[in-house]
Structure formats: C-alpha cells, structure tokens
C-alpha cells in the first residue's frame, strides 16, 4: 500500500483549519482584489437629479412638438451649476452635458438642431419629452445592494463603490505570505555563478503569484543550508505577522535538507510531507501556531506546480473568496500517452483549437527542473494515478495556468 498522500487529501488537510481572515476597513484605492465582508448598499441615488446627456437647450416638449419653434433663452446650466429659475412657455435654458434639468423643462434639444440669434434660439427639428435626459436614479438608487458579500473587488467595482459614496470599504484582511528560498547553491539574478551554483528563480514566480491572488507578499530572500539561519528566517516571518510561510528547497529528510529540522525546532505541527504527485512529491505542510507552512520542493517546476495546487486555494480561503477550487476544463489529447504509475501527473501542455474543442498537447520535456517548457505551457494536463494508456484524441482534464 502506498505511503504517499493523494493530492485531494493533501489539499483537504491544507484547507482543513483555514478560515477567512478578520474584517478590516481599507481606503477605496487599496481595496483592489480584496473580498467584501458584507453587502454594499448605495448611500446615494445616481444621478441624484435629472440631467442633460448632451450639450443643447433645456425646453418644454410642448413648445417643440412642431418645428421650427423660436424660444427665449433665460439662463444657462453647466455641470455643477444648477439654474435657479423655471422654464416657462416659450422659454429655454442653455444646458451642457451633466447640467441639472431646470424646473419646468422635460427634454433637451441638441445644439446641432438649433440656430441662435442673441437671446433667441430657433429649434429646427421637433422633439418629444425625455430626449437626451438622464432621469434621476437611472443608474442606481439609495438603498440598492450593488456589490454582494464575498465579491472579490475589481477595478470597475472600485469605481462603483466611489459613486456609491464610500471612501473606505470593509473587506477581509489580505493574507500575508512570506516566501523563503533555501540552499547554499543559490545566487541572485545578475550574479556570475561559481561552479556548483545556480541562479535563484523560484521566489520570483511565487511572489508574483501571491500578488496576483491579491495577497501581501513578504520576501525573505534566500538562506543557506544552516538550521540557525533557517530558524532566524522562520522567526522573521512570524514577527512580520505572516499567515503563510512558503519555503522552497530542503523540505525532504536528506542530510542537507534542513527546513524540516528548523521548523521542528520552532514547534511545527506537521500535517504531511509526501504526496502522490508529479512533480512535487516532497511537498510538506504544517502549522506553527497561527501560521500555516508550505514546504515546496526546490526544483522550479515542482515549486510552481505545488504553489498553484495548494498555495492558491489556501490564499483564496483566507481572503474570504468563494471561488476557492481551481476550475478544471475538458480537452482532447494532442498525442498518445502511456499508462501512469501511482502518482497523479500534472503535465505541462500547450492548448490549441480543434474541431471538437481544445487540444492539449503535453510538451516533450517534462523534467521538474525545466523552466522554459513551463513558461511555454498554457495548462497542466492531469493524469490520474494508474491511468491507462490513452490515444491522441481521447478526452482529458486540464487546469489552465492563467488564473
């Protein structure tokens, strides 16, 4: 019997104790991608009064039912500058877009349909009531629920929230996610690696993934293969109030894999550390008090795929989102596939349109260290444990990489 945990059970354990973070009030311009804790009700009516949709003349429809009709101009109305008078029979007020409709008027004749001579304007075409008028409340009314609890706020939602007259919004606090790279061999981009060294890359993808999910990243950089420096970085994450600590590399139990030892020294409550997953078998999860810990493999593809499968749903749960599960799609295989072993495969694949829908073609190179194929991939093609051989054209299940 396999000692490896299934992907489904691993995700269940990761999310088992995760709950939406507390509510906080944030300025409107800091609320993008946050999740509302309550329904948002309009505090005002928009527009609050009938106004003109065009530049022209505010008139009584009865005066312009037939044309030509000559009227006397008694005033002017600009946006933000209402006219205090009333438009009576045979009268009109010059009005500009956004100007409040004067009392007595019920339609706007656009300026292109008029000629003017001093305080007299002649309407050249007849018009009915309500033309080019935006009625009060045509957008929304005070008390309308326009944004629902649980909604992840978009840029358009922020525009609406501002129009509803909210300077701040009450949302779930953004999860704080600390990212820590480990390994003596890692050097920063721009370096000249010495023999045995490689350029650190995992953290840049993970930090971007965290930002893309609307969480707050904490970059802990890279530490060498030392229990003492790893413990110091773990404590730094806790002091920063991280909700999640993500480590890359060193999560196994080899002589140079020190992350588990450092975490154990800090009191880690280990949930699991091996999954029936390719790439990413030595993935680890546990808790350090209130802080969740995900120990990802050091290979770049393994690190990214495991973050995609486990970190993204965890962030979404803490953020209070409704769309926690990653949505799978149906496709057809672009080439023959052999039978699978005990691990669930997530193959990097490209997508193309076909006569029967999407065609997912696994890239020829699937080694977990290869970043160029990962960057080229459009999706992860899922192969279940012990899946039988499948011919090109067979149905398959994919996870699109674009979140």
**Higher model confidence: residue 2 or residue 108?**
108
* Average pLDDT of span 281-310: 96
Q: DSSP letter at 390?
A: B
Q: In CATH, what number does 51-134 get? A: 2.170.190.11
* Average pLDDT of span 193-208: 96
* Average pLDDT of span 187-211: 96
Whether 22 has a pLDDT exceeding 90, the answer reads yes
For residue 252, what pLDDT band results from cuts at 50, 70 and 90?
Answer: low
Whether 1 has a pLDDT exceeding 50, the answer reads no
The pLDDT value recorded for residue 356 is 87
State in Å, rounded, how far the first CA of the chain is from the last one.
35
Question: What whole-number percentage of the chain has pLDDT above 70?
Answer: 98
Query: Residues 43-68, buried b or exposed e (16+ Cβ, 10 A)?
Result: eebbbeebbbebbbbbbbbebbeeee
The pLDDT value recorded for residue 250 is 76
Which CATH architecture group holds 7-21+174-318? 3-Layer(aba) Sandwich (3.40)
* Mean pLDDT over the full length of the chain: 96
Determine contact, residues 304/272, Cβ cutoff 8 Å: no
Over the stretch 33-73, which tens digit does the pLDDT of each residue have? 999 999 999 999 999 999 999 999 999 999 999 999 999 99
Burial label, 362 (beta-carbon count in 10 A; 0-12, 13-18, 19+): buried
* CATH superfamily name and code, 328-400: MoeA, C-terminal, domain IV (2.40.340.10)
> Could you check whether 23-46+139-172 and 328-400 share the same CATH topology?
no
For residue 165, what pLDDT band results from cuts at 50, 70 and 90?
Answer: very high
Domain boundaries, the chain: 7-21+174-318, 23-46+139-172, 51-134, 328-400
* Average pLDDT of span 137-158: 97
Over the stretch 260-276, which tens digit does the pLDDT of each residue have? 899 999 999 999 999 99
Which CATH architecture group holds 23-46+139-172? Alpha-Beta Complex (3.90)
């Amino acid at each position: 019997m396999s000692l490896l945990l299934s992907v489904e059970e691993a995700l269940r354990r990761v999310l088992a104790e995760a709950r939406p973070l507390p509510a906080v009030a944030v300025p409107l311009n800091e609320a993008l991608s946050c999740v509302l804790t309550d329904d948002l009700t309009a505090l005002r009516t928009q527009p609050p009064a009938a106004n003109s949709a065009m530049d022209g003349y505010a008139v009584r429809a009865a005066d312009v039912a037939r044309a030509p009709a000559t009227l006397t101009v008694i005033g002017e109305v600009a946006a933000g500058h209402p006219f205090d008078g009333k438009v009576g029979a045979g009268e009109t007020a010059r009005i500009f877009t956004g100007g409040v409709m004067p009392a007595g008027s019920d339609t706007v004749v656009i300026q292109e349909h008029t000629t003017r001579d001093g305080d007299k304007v002649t309407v050249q075409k007849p018009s009915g009531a309500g033309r080019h008028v935006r009625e009060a409340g045509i957008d929304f009314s005070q008390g309308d629920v326009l944004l629902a609890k649980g909604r992840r706020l978009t840029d358009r939602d922020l525009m609406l929230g501002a129009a509803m007259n909210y300077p701040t919004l009450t949302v779930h606090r953004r999860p704080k996610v600390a990212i820590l790279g480990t390994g003596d061999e890692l050097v920063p981009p721009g370096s000249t690696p010495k023999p045995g060294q490689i350029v650190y890359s995992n953290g840049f993808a993970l930090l971007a993934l965290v930002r893309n999910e609307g969480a707050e990243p904490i970059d802990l950089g890279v530490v060498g293969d030392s229990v003492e420096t790893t413990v110091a970085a773990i404590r730094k994450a806790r002091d920063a109030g991280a909700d999640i600590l993500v480590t890359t590399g060193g999560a196994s139990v080899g002589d140079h894999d020190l992350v588990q030892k450092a975490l154990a020294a800090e009191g880690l409550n280990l949930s699991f550390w091996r999954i029936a997953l390719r790439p990413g078998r030595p993935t680890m999860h546990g808790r350090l008090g209130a802080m969740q810990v995900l120990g990802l493999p050091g290979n770049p593809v393994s690190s990214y795929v495991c973050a995609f499968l486990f970190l993204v749903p965890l962030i979404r749960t803490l953020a209070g989102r409704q769309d926690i599960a990653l949505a799978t799609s149906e496709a057809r295989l672009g080439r023959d596939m052999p039978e699978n072993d005990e691990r669930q495969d997530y193959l990097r694949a490209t997508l193309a349109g076909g006569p029967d829908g999407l065609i997912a073609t696994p890239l020829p190179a699937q080694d977990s260290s290869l970043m160029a194929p990962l960057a080229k991939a459009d999706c992860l093609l899922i192969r279940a444990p012990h899946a039988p051989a499948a011919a090109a054209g067979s149905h398959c299940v994919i996870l699109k990489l674009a979140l």
